[in-house]
Chain A
Amino acid sequence: MALAKHAGIEQRIWHYAFLIICTLIFLFLIFPILVIIPLAFNAEPYFTFTEKMLTLNPDGYSLRWFHDLLGDADWRRSIGNSFFIAICSATIATGLGTIAALGLHRKEMPAKGLIMALLISPMIVPLIISAAALFSFYARVQLTNTFFGVILSHVVLGIPFVIITVTASLSGFDQSLIRASQSMGANQTRTFFKIIMPLLLPGVISGALFAFITSLDEVVLVNFLASAEQRTMPVKMFSGLRENISPTILALAVILVAISVALLLVLEGIRRRNEKLRGMSPS
């Protein structure tokens, strides 16, 4: 994005104005996330930068909120609940979703558009509506206040992500590879593991990660479907934010940001590897 050497003044002004605007928008996107990081290390129970922090005095910083967070049995339990629910629901969503995506991908699949729209709909229906519907129905069948009910509801939320990512990775998939493999004498199982799986895997992994993070971050459904026993970290965080926002919540926020960075890096790695793989394929 270099400016042509012969660009006129007007064009130059436009060009730099454009760059400045873009920089400001990028700042808007990223600044709020960065700003809470130092505040989580605040030595004082405030939500603003203290003088000591601004002068970079080490006394202004401390790990006390992290100790507070991880030293509290209630917080630990809710963090544990969150991971347990997220792992279970992501696993189920990925399993069911991947198999369904394989079927959806087949050209013989009837009513493909309708079924696809139905499978994506949990992502589109506002959470509060799902909460109202699931709460009244799950209560009828005694699923409220159980881990099982919460996990089921999170599987529902995770499914669209798995369907989207897996069908996306299948859409670039060359059907002739299967025929080639079978014509060379590989049976169906062998074809699946040797040809389909490696190409499918990036989509499956990113779908699973999306489902995992969606569950880990979900607060509305858990808030209505769960009792104290299944209380997850976002629910605790939500009520903390409503009532008294202490830097303990920011400490948790920093940990969550770290988790998203890690997941983002994994995804980026998968994407690059995938690009390489596809780049090498003869088509």
Chain B
Amino acid sequence: MHNVFKSTLVSAVVAATFAVGSAQAEDQTLTIVSWGGAYTISQQKAYDEPFLADHAGVKIINEDKSGEGLAGIRAQAAAGSISWDIVDMLPSDAQVACDEGLLEEIDPETWLAAAADGTPASEDFIEGTLGECFVPSILYSTLFAFNKEAFPDGGPQTIADIWDTKKFPGKRALQKSAGKNLEWALIADGVAVDKVYELLATEAGQDQAFASLDKIKDSVIWWDAGAQPPQMLADGEVTIASAYNGRIFAAQVEENQPFEIMWTNQMFEADGWAVPAGLSEEKLKLVKEYIKFSTDTQRLADQAKYISYGPARNSSSPLVGKHEATGVDMKPHMPTSPENLKTAVKFNDVFWTEYGDTLKERFNAWLTQ
């Protein structure tokens, strides 16, 4: 205990010196903002550790603030003091920030590494995922998972089942966001997958989606951080949860939780890096090195060893191997595996940049009703 106290004291003193000394060391420190939990760990293992091995003197600080990434970048730009160097973001948020001039434009030819066979980066990334100011690193899925112990006779198989609280009793954990929930609400109401966005653009379709959500509202607990749904499932707080597939996978194989994933109508989208505009010359150079390194073919394939998200490069897919800790073959757990893609819904981020403001506002109002 004595030692612990001492080290705490030491870190207090260190913190004090940092307050003074941080100005000089700043340009060798990368502040990387990401989603926290298992996801940040997978990035640390696949990107940071090999990168740091090659770059003595560089220090990486992780902030788990991607959930408020857009707001944070806006606030820092307004204040004129940028404290984030690289931000893990969703493509729709990155596009909004890009249009507002808050992000560096990313030219794939100069910023990104080509594939091993010489395919340029602009052609190697999965089509439509690169943005003006955005490099994708993974494709992740939001889907439903349930606790097998709650349903000894078999769990839900369709989105309609998820909405059926009689047949499948218990609370549901849903993400506190309009996106995805409104799409699923329409699917649960019998709308065909390829008609969802068309309908959601109309007022009648929006009314229908909210009416459908109304049906399960009383059984819903809302989550806002990716680590929450597996926790809620494990604690028995809910029986069914929408969650990121990687988090559920981690709970299944690393903690032996009795969870099962329902791949039906999973919603997938890209996620990746953006760089706030206004970094110092020297810092930008380091950031570019990091981005180039962390999005190369090998790094993206490596990440799949730690978390079950699909690499955003075509050339990485064949390199996806086994789960590092347990030896589980990762390919069937990827959102991009053919089996899992059968009924998948591609999350439409163009739709959400256009209609997001209105739908989110209405969703927030609906939540409190």
Contacts and interface: CB of A to CB of B under 8 A. Distances in A.
A142 B231 contact: no
User: Which of A135, A139, A144, A244: most chain B CB closer than 10 A?
Assistant: A244
A18 interface: no
Interface string B49-71: 00000000000011110000000
A68 to B, nearest CB: 12
Interface string A47-76: 100000000000000000000001000001
Given A70-B4, A228-B62, A243-B225, A142 B81 contact: yes
Interface stretch (A9-17, A80-88, A117-125): A80-88
A132 to B, nearest CB: 11
A145 B81 contact: yes
B328 interface: no
B78 A228 contact: no
Contacts of A243: 36-37, 225, 227-228, 231
A244 B231 contact: yes
B301 to A, nearest CB: 28
B367 interface: no
A251 B340 CA distance: 41
Contact of A244 (B8, B16, B76, B227): B227
B8 A228 contact: no
B116 interface: no
B15 interface: yes
Interface in B65-92: 75-76, 78-81, 83
A146 B80 CA distance: 14
Given A80-B8, A228-B31, A244-B227, A147 B19 contact: yes
Which 9 A-B residue pairings sit nearest by Cβ, starting from the closest? A80-B11, A139-B79, A147-B19, A80-B12, A243-B227, A84-B12, A228-B63, A243-B225, A145-B83
7 contacts: A76-B11, A80-B10, A83-B9, A144-B83, A242-B224, A243-B37, A245-B231
Given A87-B12, A147-B18, 16 more contacts: A76-B7, A79-B8, A80-B9, A80-B12, A80-B15, A83-B9, A84-B15, A135-B75, A139-B75, A139-B79, A142-B81, A147-B19, A230-B15, A242-B225, A243-B37, A243-B227
